[in-house]
Structure formats: structure tokens, C-alpha cells
Amino acid sequence: MARAQNQFEEGEGGFDDDSEGVHMEDGDGMTVDLSGTDENITYPITPRGVYEAELMEMEFGQSQRSGNNMWTCIWELTDPNLAHNGKQPRQWLHLTFNDGGLPRVKRFLARIKCDDDKNLELLKTKFSPLAVADEGQLLGARARLRIDIRRYEGQNRNNVRDVLPPGDTGSTSAFGAA
């Protein structure tokens, strides 16, 4: 999986701020204390809206449900007002490479902004989705994400409804108005 540079800094005593009870060591020296851990997972919910974001991770794999090839994109929202425990919220987006998903992949590539315009190059030629993900060719891309809230397994979760061109470019997309 391609990832943007990790900005993790270990806190005092070997613990980072949001992994209480986990001593951050490599290998056999890792210890975990689950005595204060709640079994119910809760995620902070980002309010519905449109947010500037940066592509931090991209992985090529297969959908668990359908087996379709897909990109899993992890975006970090850049608005500092959304930070939770000192970290920016992240949003997941899945793009499938099947007949129904290819138009969405094309819109995605047309709307994101890469400093080297790699996204626009991919629109003009054959490419390997695996190589694009593994080589991190689109990492650092900017966009605006339309975030919604939906129910999943009985809990509210965020959902990326659309990817829009970033607000700072002055253009809308490779297709015109978004």
C-alpha cells in the first residue's frame, strides 16, 4: 500500500496520544493493556458538507463483497477545525474497476489535482491501477469531498458522496463545471 510520509511522533514514555495502553515498540517487545478499553467502537462523525482533502494512502485490492478490482483511497480532511485529539479526520473512498465503476474512476481522475498532473496523464492512456497505487503516483492529490452521514451496522458513519475539484485551483474539472 502506498502511503504519504508518516508523521507519527512517539510521545513521552513510548505512548502516542491516542493509543493509551499500547507501548509502541517493534517486534516482540510490544505490550498491550486492554483493561481500560471499551469494546464498543466509536468514530467521530464529520458533519455533512464539502471539505478540502489530501490523498494520503491508496491501495489496490479486491472488494470483499463482489470481488471486483478496486482502489481504496484514504483522504485526510485539511480543515484544522475538524481535528480530533490532534489528528485530522480521514475518509475512505472505494473506486471499482468494472463497467459500472469506470465512469466514477474517470470523474475521480478528472477532478483531483496532482502537482505533476499525473491524474490528467492517466485519463489519456492505458495504465495499471495496481502500479498507480503501489507506486503512490496520486498521493498528495487535492480535492474537495462531499461528505454525508449514513447508517452502517446500526451506527452513523461518514460516506464520501462525491469528489470535486479542489477549491484553490480556479478551475472546476477536466470536464468543465462540477
Which DSSP string corresponds to the chain?
-EEPPP-----GGG--TT-TTEE--SGGG-EE--TT--SS---PPPPSEEEEEEEEEEEEEE-TTT--EEEEEEEEE--GGG-BTTB--EEEEEEE-STTTHHHHHHHHHHSB-TT-HHHHHTTS---HHHHHHTTTTTT-EEEEEEEEEEETTEEEEEEEEEE--TTSS---TTS--
**Range of the structural domain that residue 86 is part of:** 46-164
Q: Residue 115 has what pLDDT?
A: 96
Which three cell numbers, joined as nine digits, stand for 37?
478499553
Q: Are strands 22-23 and 31-32 parallel, antiparallel or unpaired?
A: antiparallel
Cα(57)–Cα(45) distance, integer angstroms: 20
Chain centroid offset of residue 103 CA: 20
Q: Residue 119 has what pLDDT?
A: 97
pLDDT in tens, 11-27: 333 334 445 555 555 65
Q: Residue 85 has what pLDDT?
A: 87
Structural domain contains residue 131? yes
Per-residue pLDDT of the chain (178 residues; tens, 9 = 90+): 666 544 433 333 333 444 555 555 565 778 888 888 877 766 789 999 999 999 999 999 999 999 999 999 999 999 999 998 889 999 999 999 999 999 999 999 999 999 999 999 999 999 999 999 999 999 999 999 999 999 988 889 999 999 999 996 433 333 343 4
Structural domain contains residue 7? no
Structural domain contains residue 11? no
Structural domain contains residue 37? no
Structural domain contains residue 85? yes
| CA-closest candidate to residue 91, choices 18, 16, 131, 144 | 144
The answer to whether 173 and 165 are in contact (CB under 8 A) is yes
Cα(19)–Cα(87) distance, integer angstroms: 13
Structural domain contains residue 31? no
Q: Residue 53 has what pLDDT?
A: 98
Structural domain contains residue 13? no
Q: Residue 29 has what pLDDT?
A: 77
The answer to whether 117 and 126 are in contact (CB under 8 A) is no
CATH of the domain at 72: 2.40.50
Number of domains in the chain: 1
Cα(157)–Cα(161) distance, integer angstroms: 12
Structural domain contains residue 76? yes
